[in-house]
Each structure stands twice: as structure tokens, then as C-alpha cells.
Amino acid sequence: MNRRIILAGALLATTLASCGPKGNFGSTGGGYDGEKIVIRVDGGGDVGNFNTTASMTESPLNPYPYNTLEKLIEEWEAAHPKFDVQLLSTSSNGDRQVLIPQLENKTAPEITYQSGTVINSDLGKNYYVNMTPYLEKPNPYVEGNTRWADIYNEAELATTMASDGDIYSICLERIPVGLMVNTSMLKEYGIAKTPDTYAEFLTDITSLNSKLPSTQEAYATTYMWYFIALETNMFSDLLAEGDVLRKNGKIDTEELARMFDKGMWDPTLNISGDSPTFEGNRFYEYIKLCSDIGKQKAPQSFDAVQNFIGGNLGFLEVTGLQIRNIVAQKARMDFDWEIIPFPDLTTDTYEDIGSPTVRGSAGLATSWFITNSAVAKGQETVDACADLLMFLTAPEQNNRMIGDLKGGMPLNPSDDFELADHLKSLNDVYWQDVEKLSSGERVNWAALCSWEVLGYNFNTTFIRNMEDVQWGGKTAETATVTLANAIKNTINTYMYTEGWDTSAW
């Protein structure tokens, strides 16, 4: 039995399909003498690529030999002999300089990987198949399933939604996220326990930075995942009045625009004039929280991963990608370490906050798109691509595909599934926190995150401004003004281009 399929926001027990791959589409086995239709698959991923490794022998240079996706494709092909699915030997890794010319010329792989954050930038260009109608259909590889979308957490699925309200990619895993901690360093400098709250975390890294030699650092990141958790924690009390157009535990692009339009959420509050006061501006308070943490980060030249392995870093913000790579070199780590979830923002730091986010995972990851190359080959090919993705997201196959790579979390791990040891603590925290969603003790990851739903350009603007704050090029005040005006302009553009029915607001 699988105890973790999420249906309409609740955990339901679901029986896994025990038969071979037999979808609701096309041939289900037997011979086929005609010319086969080729489906090319770019096996890229957010945590690691699913392309077959050159060798299946484990070694220091090949710590995670992998061919599971190749084997799963062979199983699907056996039931659909009209199709020749070719898993590419390498991935473009979502490189836009590679993908955009391919998409423009309809030469991209029929199924390709890239970051899901690009979708709003690509709307209207007919690059990808709209997956929303498929998500409303049953997944034939999950017994009893009547709606493919129901294998996902509804709010997590909503994070993949484009600004037009549709979904254009299918996510294959959850991404683990948290902090790797050099507990030996903490103890050496008088820190007895790992932090549970933002206040404790800020105190710890500030204290470490005041004591460490110049060759060591307290804190480093590879992205700004913690800032997503902080924004959600800061503003989740607005969910009740903001999550109303598509009530799913997640503020999407249109809902955020509505909140801004009605003054429920206003980053521009009191930012004007030569001496802005920022009075009552919670977005400014959020930026200050990020600024205080960011100023404690290691310099840009500091190799965070290698310095953590070398024992020269106290805290490292990680996803499954970094965890996987670091654990492969654990023989070099002659110190005690552990992996912890992000610390919660509490009223000890700021009173006007909401519930904290689910920890352990930053939600859905590894977005695969069916491209216009499949469309050019006809509806049968598009349907086959969708069926293959249904097959790969069904628990029995997904556990194998994701679990064997040892970097991500399967969508719905079964009771008897053995996750890699280095991911278990974050996975356990995630599922414990999911159980607190219904009571409101926790909210979904990125339940309200402006730079996650306002498109690629604003996402880039946010990151650059926060980097400027971190390196001293901007203050929290100047960054707030820049970002607030960018939010206003971005929302105004969406209001003009999206054709939202504001009468429903």
C-alpha cells in the first residue's frame, strides 16, 4: 500500500498498480511492423540528471551509477511498440541558449527538461503542450485514480501554474532542501545545539563570524531557498483573504495581482519621496530579515561545497543536489555533521507573521515539457508523450526512477520504499509537517512568494538585488524601493497582457 498519495489536500491510502505498464492510450504490447515514431527524451533534472551513466560500476568518479530511467522506458516501449523512445546520452540542462533555437525551429526533444520558472516568459510562443487537460484525465498506472493531478499535493501543483492559469510541465520529484551543519564547529565555538528559529540561526552565524579565522566562514548558500521560506512565513496570514480565485493553499500570479490591486499586500507602502518611512510596510520588514541573514554569508569567491567538505564552513544551505554530491565525498569529512530543516521565523523576531512553511522540501521539481516537436509529429505522439509521463509519475515507477538517483524525493514513496539515508531526515520532516497543513500549523512551501510567481524577469531582479545587499552595494531600503517598483510594473504588465476577469476579484 502507498500511504502518501495526496488527494485534494489530504493523505489517502492508494493501492499501487501491480500489473505491467498498460496505459489508456495506443497499443499495449504485441508486434508492430510499421515505421516507429521516435520520441526523444532529455533526461535532465533539478537534483541530478536521469541520463544513463557511462559505467554502472560505482567508483569515486562515478559514485551514483544510474540506468533506471532507461530501464523504465524499455518497459513502457514493450507495451507501446509503435514508439521508439530515445533517452539522450546527455542533457542540455535547461540551457536557454540551446533550447530556444530548438523550440523556435521545432527541433527540441519531444520531452525536454528545463526550469519551470521560464513558463511565463514563454507563454504565447507555442513551445509547449498545455498539460492541464491531461492532468484532469485518469492516470491508468495508478489503480483507482480518476484524475492524474490527484497524485500531487494541490498547492505544490499550483506552483507550476503559468500566469494564464494552465500547467505546461510535469514535475517528477520533490526537491529536498535544508541546512548541512558542521556540528563539530558549532561545539568548538560554544554553540550547543542546532537552531530551530530564525533568531537562533542569526545569533549562531553572527557569533561564528566574530570568532572564526579568516579561512573559515559561518554560512553559505547555493541559492536563496531560505528567503522563500521566510517570505511565506511572513505573509501566510494573508492566505485566507488572498487564496480565493483558485482555493488551493497557494497564492498564484493572478491572486497576488488581486491582492496588490486591493491593497491587501502592498510592497509600495510608504516608499515614496526623498525620505521614505516604510511605515507599516511588511515587505520592507521581509527584506530586512533577508538582509540580516545575507550579510553573514560567505563571500562570492568562497567555494561553499568544497569548504564544507574541508571542515571550513558552519552552515551550508543545500538541496538534494548538494547533499548527494557532498555525501559522495564523506570519506574526506573528518568532523561531525548533520542535516536540518530551515529554522522557523517566530514572533521572537517579528510579531506580524503567519504560520511557518512545510520544511524538508521546496516542493515539486524537475519540470519536463512536451514540446512543439511532438506536436509537429501529430496528436498520437503528443498523447504518447503524456502517457509516458503518467507512467513515470505513478508511484511504482517513480519510486524507482527518483530513488535510484539518490538526490530527490519520490512524489509518493510507499511504506516499504527505502530512501537514501542522507535524505531520510528531511523526508521525515516533510511528511510530519504535511500532516499539520489541515490544522493551519503549517502552510505549503511558497504559499505566498512574490519572486516565485511574478515571472522569470522579476525572479532575476529579486536575486540580483539581494546579492547587491549581501555584498554591500545596496541597503535593505534601496532594495525595497527597487523591488517594490518592479512588482508594481510587473503586475501592471500582467494586468494588460493576461486578460484577467477583474470583475471576479
pTM given for the model: 0.89
pLDDT of residue 408: 98
- Per the DSSP assignment, residues forming a β-bridge with 87 are 41
Question: What letters, b where the CB count within 10 A reaches 16 and e where it falls short, cover 181-197?
Answer: bbbebbeeeebeebbeb
Residue 115 · residue 106 · CB < 8 Å: no
Angle between helices 282-294 and 455-470 (to 10 degrees): 50
What is the helix, strand, coil percentage profile of the chain, to 5? 40, 15, 45
Q: 167, exposed or middle or buried, with CB in 10 Å at 0-12, 13-18, 19+? A: buried
Q: Is the dihedral of CA 234, 238, 239, 240 positive or negative?
A: positive
Per-residue pLDDT 10s for the chain (505 aa) are: 353 443 333 333 333 333 345 565 655 556 677 899 999 999 999 999 999 999 999 999 999 999 999 999 999 999 999 999 999 999 999 999 999 999 999 999 999 999 998 898 899 999 999 999 999 999 999 999 999 999 999 989 998 999 899 999 999 999 999 999 999 999 999 999 999 999 999 999 999 999 999 999 999 998 999 999 999 999 999 999 999 999 999 999 999 999 999 999 999 999 999 999 999 999 999 999 999 999 999 998 999 999 999 999 999 999 999 999 999 999 999 999 999 999 999 999 999 999 999 999 999 999 999 999 999 999 999 999 999 999 999 999 999 999 999 999 999 998 889 999 999 999 999 999 999 999 999 999 999 999 999 998 999 999 999 999 999 999 999 999 999 999 999 999 999 999 899 999 9
Q: 394, exposed or middle or buried, with CB in 10 Å at 0-12, 13-18, 19+? A: buried
Cα–Cα distance list, 360 to 21, 43, 201, 239, 451 (Å): 32, 25, 17, 21, 20
Tell me the C-alpha distance between 123 and 167, whole Å.
11
Tally of CA atoms within 13 A in the half-sphere of 395 that contains its CB: 25
Q: Categorise residue 435: left if φ over 0, alpha if ψ from -120 to 50, beta otherwise.
A: alpha
SS3 164: coil
The helix or strand, by DSSP H or E, that contains position 397, with its residue range, turns out to be helix 395-403
Residue 140 · residue 23 · CB < 8 Å: yes
Tell me the C-alpha distance between 390 and 386, whole Å.
6
pLDDT of residue 356: 98
User: Which residues have C-beta within 8 Å of that of residue 19, sequence separation ≥ 6?
Assistant: none
- Per the DSSP assignment, residues forming a β-bridge with 492 are none
User: Which residues have C-beta within 8 Å of that of residue 338, sequence separation ≥ 6?
Assistant: 180, 181, 183, 194, 425
Cα–Cα distance list, 28 to 39, 79, 82, 500 (Å): 17, 4, 10, 43
CA angle in degrees (0–180, nearest 5) for 312-316-319: 140
Domains and CATH numbers, the chain: 2-174+365-419 (3.40.190.10), 176-359+445-504 (3.40.190.10)
DSSP character string of 6-73 = EETTEEEEEPPP-S----SSS--SS---SPPEEEEE----SSS--SPPS--S-BTTBSS---HHHHHH
pLDDT of residue 29: 55
Residue 406 · residue 420 · CB < 8 Å: yes
Tell me the C-alpha distance between 145 and 256, whole Å.
32
Tell me the C-alpha distance between 275 and 19, whole Å.
68
Closest CA to 355 of 233, 197, 446: 233
Closest CA to 153 of 333, 412, 433, 379: 412
**Cell 532542501 belongs to residue:** 177
Closest CA to 9 of 447, 449, 444, 452: 444
Closest CA to 450 of 164, 252, 155: 252
